[in-house]
């Protein structure tokens, strides 16, 4: 997959694109990330890419011309079918969106700065706007890195053990199950015996049940993604929770 990133700060991507699994994926050609400096497409002698907003107000707004020119320069290298603006106004990033993008051959990510971009960029240039959460950052570079990292994990060969991807939070709609490793007992806290006994069917059942339990407690809205097979486990959790609450009653 090829991802073209349009940014005013390409140097911000140097570390993340060289480190860990993402760096290995780039090195092995499993994903290609090409950086384009938006300022290279400014037309005035000061290389300005922003201007004061019409109607007044604080801050500056990214201009149309450099952004359109930067995206159009990618023709022949990128299909331009997925031109994504990283923006707090966009739809919230979810695992389903990540899987969808990972199936595509390419994408363009635009990293906004200042108070935002001229609305005509949204109207006539981008095909989608994505937000990584309900908060504001100084620019779209970090959200772009988050999206690239998430997409890379869905590409074949990036994560050596695919089972570790399938057990990630959100991969199957709910949060991930608790994880344990050695020692079996630490400061009086014991790792569940079922995980140490080698019964793989029991382990799978425990992990799914505990994934449902933590989702019910922390992100109950995600339970809408449960399957019919999850219903008996949810019923068990409900009974256990009710029993614990009764025991704790004064």
**Where do the domains of the chain lie?**
2-153, 185-247
Per-residue model confidence (pLDDT) at position 90: 94
Rounded CA separation 38/233 (Å): 52
219 among known catalytic residues: no
The catalytic residue among 2, 39, 88, 128 is 88
Rounded CA separation 64/117 (Å): 8
Per-residue model confidence (pLDDT) at position 162: 47
Provide the whole-model pTM.
Answer: 0.86
Per-residue model confidence (pLDDT) at position 169: 53
DSSP code for 57: -
The catalytic residue among 128, 129, 149, 168 is 168
Per-residue model confidence (pLDDT) at position 248: 86
Which has the closest alpha carbon to 3: 103, 111, 102, 109? 109
Which has the closest alpha carbon to 7: 160, 144, 150, 122? 144
The catalytic residue among 115, 128, 129, 149 is 115
Per-residue model confidence (pLDDT) at position 161: 54
153 among known catalytic residues: yes
Per-residue model confidence (pLDDT) at position 130: 97
CATH topology (fold) of 185-247: 1.10.1270
Rounded CA separation 100/85 (Å): 16
- Kindly give the parts of the chain with pLDDT less than 50: 162-163
Per-residue model confidence (pLDDT) at position 202: 96
Right CATH for 2-153 from 3.40.1280.10, 3.20.20.60, 3.30.365.10, 3.40.50.2000: 3.40.1280.10
- Would you tell me how many other CB atoms lie within 10 Å of the CB of residue 53? 15
168 among known catalytic residues: yes
Angle at 182 between CA 179 and CA 184, to 5 degrees: 90
- Structure token digits, residue 43: 């037309």
Q: Measured in whole angstroms, how far is the alpha carbon of residue 110 from the centre of its chain?
A: 15
């Amino acid at each position: 997959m090829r991802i073209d990133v349009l940014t005013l700060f390409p140097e911000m991507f140097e570390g993340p694109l060289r480190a860990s699994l993402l760096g290995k994926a780039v090195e092995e050609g499993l994903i290609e990330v090409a950086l384009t400096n938006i300022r290279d497409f400014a037309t005035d002698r000061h290389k300005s890419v922003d201007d004061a907003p019409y109607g007044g107000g604080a801050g500056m707004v990214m201009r149309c011309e450099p952004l359109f020119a930067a995206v159009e320069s990618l023709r022949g290298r990128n299909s331009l079918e997925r031109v994504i603006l990283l923006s707090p106004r966009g739809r919230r990033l979810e695992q389903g969106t990540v899987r969808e993008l990972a199936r595509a051959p390419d994408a363009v990510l635009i990293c906004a700065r200042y108070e935002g971009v001229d609305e005509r960029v949204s109207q006539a240039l981008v095909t989608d706007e994505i937000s990584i959460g309900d908060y504001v950052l100084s620019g779209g570079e970090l959200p772009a890195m988050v999206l690239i990292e998430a997409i890379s994990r869905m590409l074949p060969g990036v994560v050596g053990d695919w089972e570790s991807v399938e057990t990630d939070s959100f991969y199957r709609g709910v949060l991930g199950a608790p994880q344990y490793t050695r020692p079996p007992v630490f400061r009086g806290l014991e790792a569940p015996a079922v995980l140490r006994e080698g019964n793989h069917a029991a382990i799978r059942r425990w992990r799914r049940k505990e994934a449902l339990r933590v989702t019910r407690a922390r992100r109950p809205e995600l339970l809408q993604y449960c399957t019919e097979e999850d219903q008996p486990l949810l019923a068990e959790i409900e009974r256990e929770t009710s029993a614990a609450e009764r025991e704790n009653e004064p």
